[in-house]
Structure 1
Amino acid sequence: MGAYDDRFGSILIGSWLSSMLYALVVTQVYQYFRLFPTDAMYRKGLVLSTLFFCTVALVADYANVYMPTVTFWGNAEKVNIQYWPVPLFVTTSTFVGVLVNSFLIHRFYSLSKNLCTSIFLSLLMILGFAGSFMVAITLQQFSLYTSRDKAKTAALVWTVSTALTDIGIAGALIWQLLSMKSSFKETQSRIRRLIIQTVQTGCTTSVVSIITLVSYLIKNDSNIPTACNFVIAPLYALTLLSNFNLRQRADPVSGSGRSTSEGNTVRMDGIHVHRTAVVTVDANKTGTEHQQYHNSSKDTKVPDF
């Protein structure tokens, strides 16, 4: 029975880890809708779509473990076949990554206006999704566990492109945030927090993608890359939700949290405007003194990730 440790034990452990991460995803989704009820509909739709595909991927993970270890246990021929859950979790987990990375690439473009880098990252993301789709089709056509080599080329395209996309997005965002300067201590502190957040969330999916790639290159007949792929979808979802939930909380009165004022400083979702008054006295006016007031402002825009 120890011969099945690699094949079934790895995906069983992967399903446990995926379940724990999924519980965190559900908690973060609840927190998002509680804290930001007035968010734009596209953000709410993105969160719900991500949760839906994470749920489908988790069900596929469970089915992929259940069928060989329960339904067909003891049937040597049946347990060597990869059934419908395998292509399903491959495509759904990758689609979660596409949703999250599309949002992050859009954020990067909105922040930097760097069209070339944004297009390059988008092409890498699309290439990774195409590779995962080809893996799913190949596994559906050649369902024997021993026929996994037929999907090797597509699997390499998928894993390499995914790892490069995650690393590229995290690196581009960090580089752009490092280039931002502000004379406001609070804004500069917020930029530093965003850099730390980008490193933490971006490196998580990047590291898992690299582990998946390395484990596949070392032993492509193992189920360890499959187990790694089990956790990638909830990790992507947590990346998205952490970007949303770490924003400034909504104002308890208006619910929007869009604008607050403190003395001469106005804060609007990361835009800090400091007002100063300059008084000019014109003594040349006969019998009167003319006073001219001029308002000047500085602003530094920090995006809400």
Structure 2
Amino acid sequence: MAAYNDPLGSILIGSSLSSMLYGLVLTQAYEYFLLYPTDVMYRKSLVLSTVFFCTVALVAEYANVYLPTVTFWRDTEKVQKQYWPVPLFVTTSTFVGVLVNSFLISRFYSLSKNLWISFLLSLLLVTGFAGSFMVAITLQEFSLYTSRDKANTAALVWTISTAATDSCIAGALIWQLLSMKSCCLLKDTRSLIKRPIIRTVQTGSTTSVVAIITLVSYLKNDSNSVPTACNFLIAPLYVLTLLSNFNLRRRDTISVSGRSASEGNAVASLVSTRLA
């Protein structure tokens, strides 16, 4: 059983880190409903949906660790199989990414009105979703660890598209905000627009970096469980990205309302509102 120390150890560490991030998700979700009880229904539904799918993905992660390390431990034949938790995790974590990235693409379009870039970002998102769906189907059909190579093509499409989508969405938002900032002559307004830029870098780059690490680790060695462990972190990070955008609205609104009314501050207020 020592041969399984590396693959099982990776997913055990990944599930532990994911649990910590999930605790932050619950804290941020509680803060959101506490601060914005009258928020529009679609935002509440979006938060509830992402938290729900994130919870199901975490349960699948736990089961993915528990089955080989406890239930089937010392049973070499059963330990070599991948059971229902793996396709379930792939599907639910992808749903979280699709929901959050769809929201971010809509925010970019709201700011830029650039239909072509929004369409290309959506195309990347759909491609990644299709790749993850094929991975889930393949892993369900070929459950042995030794048969994981059958999902290589779909996994590459999934990981490359996910990394590209996260990076491009973050880059597009930053580019749009920088162009708006350069058009503002007032120093206070430029400072107000700078805040959502920093927020986008902090939140958007996190999922991008993890997605890129997942891709690199998969290309380096597609037979270990390091990419799976990295993927465990994606769902809660996506939800935290969404909730950070929602929960920081209060600070931005206070900053804008505390200044004198002007055209520039109106622009900054509009940016803060549309990003949320």
| Shorter-normalised TM range | over 0.9
Q: Kindly indicate whether the alpha-carbon contact (under 8 Å) linking 1:127 and 1:161 is maintained by their aligned counterparts in 2.
A: yes
Question: 1:302 corresponds to which letter in structure 2?
Answer: V
Name the % identity. 71
Contact 1:128 1:157 in 2 (8 A): yes
State the 1:4 CA deviation: 1.9
Q: 2:232 aligns with which of 226, 230, 233?
A: 230
What are the Cα deviations for residues 124-164 of structure 1, in whole angstroms up to 9, with x where unaligned?
A: 00000010000000000000000000000000000000000
CA contact (8 A) 1:187 1:302 kept: no
The structure having more radius of gyration, on CA atoms, is 1
Q: Is the 8 A contact 1:81 1:143 kept in 2?
A: yes
TM-score norm. by structure 1 comes to 0.84
Residue 185 of structure 1 pairs with residue 187 of structure 2: yes
- Identify which of 266, 270, 273 aligns with 1:301: 270
Match of 2:221 among 219, 222, 225: 219
Match of 2:198 in 1: 196
How far residue 250 of structure 1 moved from its aligned partner, in angstroms, is 10
Q: Is the 8 A contact 1:167 1:206 kept in 2?
A: yes
The answer on whether the counterparts of 2:29 and 2:243 sit within 8 Å (CA) in structure 1 is yes
Choose 63-72 or 182-191, whichever is displaced more: 182-191
Equivalent of residue 209 in structure 2, options 192, 197, 207: 207
Cα distance in 2 between the residues matched to 1:199 and 1:250 = 16
Contact 1:182 1:300 (8 Å CA) reproduced: no
Matches within 5 A, 1:5-20: 5-20=5-20
Higher RCO structure (Cα 8 Å, ≥6 apart): 2
Partner residue in 1 for 2:261? 265
Total equivalences in the alignment: 271
Q: Give the CA RMSD over aligned residues.
A: 2.0
The answer to whether the Cα contact below 8 Å between 2:249 and 2:272 also exists between their aligned partners in 1 is: no
Query: Secondary structure at 2:89's aligned position in 1?
Result: helix
AA partner of residue 213 (structure 1): L
**Contact kept in structure 1, 2:170 and 2:204, CA below 8 Å:** yes
Summarize the alignment of residues 68-217 of structure 1 with structure 2, pairs less than 5 Å apart. Answer: 68-180=68-180, 181-217=183-219
Unmatched 5+ residue regions in structure 2? Answer: none
> For 2:265, what is the secondary structure of its paired residue?
strand
Q: Name the CA shift for 1:175/1:77 in 2 (closer, same or farther; >3 Å).
A: same
Specify the SS of the correspondent of 2:14. helix
Distance 1:240 1:303 in 2: 14
Partner in structure 1 of residue 51 of structure 2: 51
**What secondary structure does 2:250 align onto?**
coil
- Per-residue CA deviation, residues 14-39 of structure 1 (Å, 9 max, x unaligned), is 00000000000000000011111121
Structure (1 or 2) with the greater strand fraction: 1
Relative to structure 1, the CA distance from residue 174 to residue 186 in structure 2 (aligned partners, 3 Å threshold; closer, same or farther) is same
Query: Whose helix fraction is larger, Structure 1's or Structure 2's?
Result: 2
The answer to whether the Cα contact below 8 Å between 2:109 and 2:115 also exists between their aligned partners in 1 is yes
Q: Deviations over 1:155-186 (max 9, x none)?
A: 00000000000010000000000001323433
Paired amino acid for 1:97: G
Native 8 Å contact 1:108 1:173 kept in 2 = yes
CA distance 1:250–1:32, shift in 2 (3 Å): farther
Instruction: Quote the offset at 1:2 in angstroms.
Output: 3.8
Please give the alpha-carbon distance, in whole angstroms, between the structure 2 residues aligned to 1:174 and 1:151.
34
Q: Which runs of 5+ in 1 are unaligned?
A: 252-256, 274-297
Q: Which moved more, 1:91-100 or 1:181-190?
A: 181-190
The amino acid that maps onto 1:51 is V
* Equivalent residue number for residue 243 of structure 2: 241
* TM-score for both structures, normalised by structure 2: 0.93
